[in-house]
Amino acid sequence: MNWEIRNLMCNIEIVKEKLEDVATTHTWFVDGRFTKRSLKTKEEVVNYGLAYNEHRIHNEQVTELMLTYLEELDGLMNKFHEIEKASLSTDQSESNANVQSIYLNKY
């Protein structure tokens, strides 16, 4: 059981690192593209408009990655709940066996 939990935690850490990578690259993108609070000249507006496709692609990729990683994280959380439920069931069985053993030894 412990190795299953350790393995699960390793997988969760991998997903966390992937999410951190997405956040980092998105921050770099935003910092590189949105250098001013607002666009004041026609040239700035045109340059921003010319980068529209790049922005759209970046946003689609970030969204897709986030959804994929969240889905992966949901799967890992469900697996954890299954392990937890199996552990509780095992603990309950052991507890019942101990009670029965005490009862049989007493009588």
- For 11-32, the pLDDT digits (tens) are 999 999 999 999 999 999 999 8
Q: Taking CA 57 as the corner, what is the angle to CA 35 and CA 75, rounded to the nearest 5 degrees?
A: 110
What pLDDT score does 2 carry? 83
Confidence of residue 89 (pLDDT cuts 50, 70, 90): confident
Query: Would you say residue 98 has pLDDT above 60?
Result: yes
Secondary structure class of 45 (helix, strand, coil): helix
Q: Which two tokens stand for residue 89?
A: 């069931």
Q: Are 39 and 45 in contact (CB under 8 A)?
A: yes
Indicate the pTM of the whole model: 0.70
Spell out the domain ranges in the chain. 2-106
- For 38-47, the pLDDT digits (tens) are 999 999 999 9
Mean pLDDT, range 82-103, rounded to an integer: 72
